[in-house]
Chain A
Amino acid sequence: EVQLVESGGGLVKPGGSLRLSCAASGFTFSSYSMNWVRQAPGKGLEWVSSISSSSSYIYYADSVKGRFTISRDNAKNSLYLQMNSLRAEDTAVYYCARRSIAAPGVSLWGRGTLVTVSS
């Protein structure tokens, strides 16, 4: 089955760190650029970060630049998001999202993992 499964979410104190993982299956992970997209409670979707298929190109939203690091391990079919210096406003469901090969756009979404930053 073609799917993305996120893990690693949880409760963390402000200033703390968390590492999210996304396990891909059912498709050739190494051929696709990947993204993280988040959604704060009751709010809209926000793009967080992108990484190209070979990790050559990496981009971040201004809101997380310098604090979050995206990476991938094609041998393990996995995508990661290392989140440091977490703030209350980082509280959100984090979705792993596969970019379409044909054009910019998401072709596959994970179910998301909730990150709560609170003391």
Chain B
Amino acid sequence: QTVVTQEPSFSVSPGGTVTLTCGLSSGSVSTSYYPSWYQQTPGQAPRTLIYSTNTRSSGVPDRFSGSILGNKAALTITGAQADDESDYYCVLYMGSSWVFGGGTKLTVL
């Protein structure tokens, strides 16, 4: 069974830069998995940030960027703001299914 791994939690200082990662329990993440990233605050629907590794969704500020770092997909937030405090989920496309990571709870303090 495919398991997508994410850091359970992360913290960043206001104005700082943070990189969240998305890996596979077995193997490496590549662009062929079309990694995408979603932001969710409590009680709200998810918001799409990045799809196809590094394409920002409409309206997403350019301080959010996606990439492949080593054997993982990565979401980098530069100039973190207080309202970036959210849960972040990655998802990998497996051809006939999607597999979400467990999410990373980002704290801005």
Contact = CB atoms under 8 A, between A and B. Distances in A.
Interface of A: 35, 37, 44-47, 50, 59, 61, 95, 100, 102-112
Given A103-B52, A106-B36, A47 B101 contact: no
A35 B101 CA distance: 17
Interface of B: 34, 36, 38, 40, 45-48, 51-52, 55, 57, 87, 89, 91, 93, 96-103
B98 A109 contact: no
B59 to A, nearest CB: 11
Given A44-B89, A109-B45, A59 B97 contact: yes
Contacts of A106: 36, 38, 46, 48, 51
A75 to B, nearest CB: 26
Do most interface residues of chain A lie in helix, strand or loop, or is the interface mixed? strand
A103 B100 contact: no
Nearest to B50: A105
A105 B45 contact: no
B36 A61 contact: no
A45 B100 contact: yes
A108 B45 CA distance: 10
Contact of B93 (A37, A46, A104): A104
Contacts of B103: 44-45
Given A45-B89, A109-B45, A112-B45, A102 B52 contact: yes
A59 B93 CA distance: 12
Given A104-B34, A104-B36, A35 B48 contact: no
A105 B36 contact: yes
Contacts of B55: 102-103
Contacts of B98: 35, 47, 50, 104
B57 A107 contact: yes
